[in-house]
A = this chain, B = another copy of it.
Amino acid sequence: MSVTLVEIQQAAERIRPFAHRTPVLTNESLNQRVGVQVFLKCENMQKVGAFKFRGACNAVFSLSDEEAKRGVVTHSSGNHAQALALAARLCGIPAYIVMPDNAPQVKKDAVAGYGGQITFCKPTLEARESTMGRIRLETGATVVHPYDNERVIAGQGTAALELLTEIPDLDVVIAPVGGGGLLSGTSIAAKGLKPGIRVIAAEPELADDAYRSMQAGKIVPSVNPKTIADGLLTSLGALTFPIIRQNVEQIVTVSERGIIEAMRFVWERVKIVIEPSAAVAVGVLWEKKIDLSGLKVGVILSGGNVDLNKLPWQ
């Protein structure tokens, strides 16, 4: 069983009262620099500053009453944790968040600020999973995986659904790929609405496990990636990989330099704050590794959560 366009449309209805319909921006300087007509879907302006809220919100509001009462649980130190905490609060149910004890204070504060009940553990995948397992047993909470979850994938697809509803004549849509939740949802929505559209994925060169997975025909795990695009460190999942294989034309890798240059250009010229992971998608155009000249290209800007005290060009 996989995710369909209908499920994404249902997700859009479900999350409509809670999520932002984010703006689509265009910019002449950017178009000129990259030689294509770019439409930026601003998920940096989504609640919690990232597309992750869409998936978390769809997952939470899809729970049965019985499930909802017992709450949700996940392990995450990033945007998914905040997104799930906020979605749960809006639904009036508990969110149990397992975080590594070395997570930055600002992220701990953000999750707590959204009402998440944090349990700290050692910063290993093993510790995170065993801690989450224990909480699940104790509370009966439903696990909401950050990407390998059909409700989450359907929720993430609602960004592309909005984008294509607003700009129906796109030729190409580009989304960044980490675990593949956003890319999967994007590809299902785009191909479902417009079978001829080209779906292209953007990945850091220094975290090119999805690229290598596509080459190998099986999931190649991401091992200690060192990219600045800290939202794209995870490996593809059992659900996302087959969707991506089926729908995505190509995974294009972007250099660290390309990520930073594209990020800075967007800040300076488009006047919006995007995080490095979002800049990876712009980087595909920036580095011109594939010829899309003259086409209409939608780019999903995945998020805008950055530490303003630590910018990559400084």
Q: Does A234 contact B (CB under 8 A)?
A: no
Select which of B271, B304, B309, B311 is within 8 A of A45 by beta carbon. Answer: B271
Q: Does A49 contact B (CB under 8 A)?
A: yes
Q: Does A138 contact B (CB under 8 A)?
A: no
Q: What are the residues of chain B within 8 A of A272 when measuring CB–CB?
A: 271-273
B308 touches A271 (CB 8 A): no
- Shortest CB distance A164–B (Å): 20
Whether A271 touches B25, Cβ cut-off 8 Å, given contacts A309-B313, A313-B309, A314-B309, is no
Q: Would you call the interface of chain A mostly helix, strand, loop, or mixed?
A: mixed
Q: What are the interface flags for A42-55 relative to B under an 8 Å C-beta threshold, 1 for contact and 0 otherwise?
A: 10110101000000
Q: What are the interface flags for A279-314 relative to B under an 8 Å C-beta threshold, 1 for contact and 0 otherwise?
A: 000000000000000000000000010001101011
Q: What are the interface flags for A258-269 relative to B under an 8 Å C-beta threshold, 1 for contact and 0 otherwise?
A: 000000100111
Q: Does A112 contact B (CB under 8 A)?
A: no
Q: Does A91 contact B (CB under 8 A)?
A: no
Q: What are the residues of chain B within 8 A of A143 when measuring CB–CB?
A: none
Select which of B274, B308, B311, B314 is within 8 A of A264 by beta carbon. Answer: B308
A308 touches B25 (CB 8 A): no
Q: Does A23 contact B (CB under 8 A)?
A: yes
List the 5 closest A-B pairs by CB distance, nearest first.
A271-B304, A271-B273, A44-B271, A45-B271, A267-B273
